[in-house]
Every structure is written in C-alpha cells, then in structure tokens.
Structure 1
C-alpha cells in the first residue's frame, strides 16, 4: 500500500498546526489533526496506523478515537 501522498498531507498538517518539542520533533493533538484534515484525508486513522507501523509517527494508543483521544499528541519522528 503506497501512502506517500497521505503521509505527506499528515506530515504537513503536523508541522503547520502543531508545535516543535524540545527534542526538535513536531507534534500535534489528534483533535486538531482530525479537524484540519477532514477534507483532505479520507481515512485519518488508517494513515496514522500505517505511518506508526512504518515508524514515521508515534502516539500512545493503538487507535485514536474522537472525542476521547482529542488531546493525544501525534509526534512526527523525523527531525528537520
């Protein structure tokens, strides 16, 4: 499964709407990602799970669900 386009949208959203942590990694709350990518990512959870399996992002849950996980931080693992 090629998720490069979806991953790029996810990566751009984390950088645009998130913050940079002290370790230089960008992170964004799941609730913000959910709201901001609703029109561009049809399956945010699928993209997040695939990116997590590929060690491109990290978050502290198996699957994220709104509204319970809206404050969970999704961390972009690459540093730019």
Structure 2
C-alpha cells in the first residue's frame, strides 16, 4: 500500500492545526490531530507509524490511543 498521500495529508494537518514548538518545528497534540483528521484519514495510527518509520514525524511510544494519549505531542521533523 502506498501511504505517501496519507502522509502528506498528515503533514498538512500538523502544519495547519499545530503550533511551532521551542525547536522551531510544527507540533500538535494527538487528541487535536485525531479530531482534525477523523474525516480525512481512516487509519491515523497506521499513517503515523509509517511517517515515524520514514523519520517525517516523531512522538513518544509506538502506538497512540485515545483518550489515553490525547496530550502526546506529534512533531513534524521536516
């Protein structure tokens, strides 16, 4: 499966709805990202894991779950 389109949607959502952190990178809470992409990304966790493997985003842990991880920051590395 080609996830490049989904990763681009993810990156745009982080840029559009996140904020710039102290390192100058776009960052967003997982809970906010979850709400903002629920209509555009069917498999948010799969897309996040793929983007993390490709070193395009980073976050603590392997798998983020709502509501437990709603405050975990997803950071865009590009």
- Distance in 2 of aligned mates of 1:3 and 1:23: 27
Structure 1 match to 2:25: 25
Give deviations 1:22-53, integer Å, cap 9, x for gaps. Answer: 22110000001100100100000000000001
Gap regions ≥5 residues in structure 2: none
Count, aligned residues:
78
The runs of 4+ residues in structure 1 deviating greater than 2 Å are none
Q: CA deviation at 1:4?
A: 1.3
Structure 1 match to 2:59: 59
- Distance in 2 of aligned mates of 1:22 and 1:31: 20
Aligned-CA RMSD value: 0.8
- Distance in 2 of aligned mates of 1:11 and 1:30: 13
Gap regions ≥5 residues in structure 1: none
Structure 1 match to 2:38: 38
Q: CA deviation at 1:61?
A: 0.9
Provide the TM-score with structure 1 as the length reference: 0.93
Provide the TM-score with structure 2 as the length reference: 0.96
